[in-house]
Structure 1
Amino acid sequence: MTDDMTIRIDSEEYVLRQDGEGLQVGRRNGTDVAWLDTVEIELLPGPAREALDRGDMSDESLMTALRGVTQAEIERGG
């Protein structure tokens, strides 16, 4: 994955960007992106990593993993 990828989770649109061994997760705000967190890709469940490798942003396992990341950001007050 070399380019930013967009995924819609519930009613929010997020941007994913691979950065070395990490996956940056951001929220689109108009034309800008507010980066929320970077997650080690190896920490994602196998099916979510496979969906990410395929670029399948509609895969339920990837969406579930990212819901956890975004929920953690909300709970931290991000």
Structure 2
Amino acid sequence: MSDDMTIQIDSEQYVIRQESDGLQVGRSNAGDVVWLETVDLGLLPDKAREALERGDTTDEALLTALRGVTQAQVERGA
């Protein structure tokens, strides 16, 4: 995956991008993306990584993994 993808997590929209150092998770704001976190791909469950490779942003394994990432951001106050 080389392009940004929009993903709906519960009622919020996020932008994800796979890069050499991991999966970036961000929020779109007035046309710009604010990157919140970069997650090591090795930390994601196999099924979530497979969904990411397919570009399937509706896969429940990927959504569950990203919910954890976004919840950590909320708890840190980001």
Q: TM-score, normalised by structure 2?
A: 0.96
Matched, 1:19 2:19: yes
User: Displaced runs of 4+ in structure 1, greater than 3 A?
Assistant: none
**Two-structure CA RMSD over aligned residues (Å):** 0.7
Question: Aligned equivalents of 2:49 and 2:21: distance in 1?
Answer: 12
Q: 1:44 maps to which residue?
A: 44
Q: Percent identity?
A: 68
Show the 5 A alignment for 1:1-78: 1-78=1-78
What are the ranges of 5 or more consecutive residues in structure 1 without an aligned counterpart?
A: none
Structure 2 unaligned runs (5+)? none
**One-letter amino acid of the counterpart of residue 71, structure 2:** Q
TM-score (norm 1): 0.96
